[in-house]
Amino acid sequence: MADIRHGILARSCFGAPEIFDPALGIARITLPLLSLALGEMRARGELADIDALLLHLEGIELRYFVEADPRWEEGAFSLAGRHLHVPLFKYDQDMVDMVRAQSWECSFIEEPNGGPD
């Protein structure tokens, strides 16, 4: 009997931190990550069966999450004579831009005649 795996596909991102709870046991799939996973698997000549694809997606997600260096920092600004401190979500924007560009490039497949698929 095959294992059943669950995944959630989002167009761009997930807005709630609860989605990252390992107890949910789901694969988080975004279109950019899906494009990267399929592109990397295609480049290595791997078949994209669902189990292999989900494992590859999880690896990509972990790799880029670590490289993006997400963190909370304190920001401060003045408003109406008051000095306010707020949490700011920071990450390596250059790395995120690079991953976006890679996912875009992976979304095009050239046909044997050189045109896009």
Cβ contact 67:95 at 8 Å: yes
**Tokens, residue 64:** 């880029």
Regarding beta strands 26-30 and 6-10, do their DSSP bridges make them parallel or antiparallel, or are they unpaired? Answer: parallel
Mean pLDDT of 85-108: 87
pLDDT digits (tens, 9 = 90+) for 54-68: 888 888 888 888 899
Give per-residue burial for 73-84: e unless 16+ CB within 10 Å, then b: eeeeeeeeeeee
pTM assigned to the model: 0.67
The C-alpha torsion from 19 through 20 and 22 to 27, rounded to 10°, is: 70
User: For the segment 80-93, what is each residue's pLDDT rounded down to a tens digit?
Assistant: 999 999 999 899 99
Where along the chain do its domains lie? Answer: 6-106
Q: Residue holding tokens 């790395």?
A: 95
Treating both helix axes as pointing N-terminal to C-terminal, what angle do 93-106 and 31-43 enclose, rounded to 10 degrees? Answer: 60
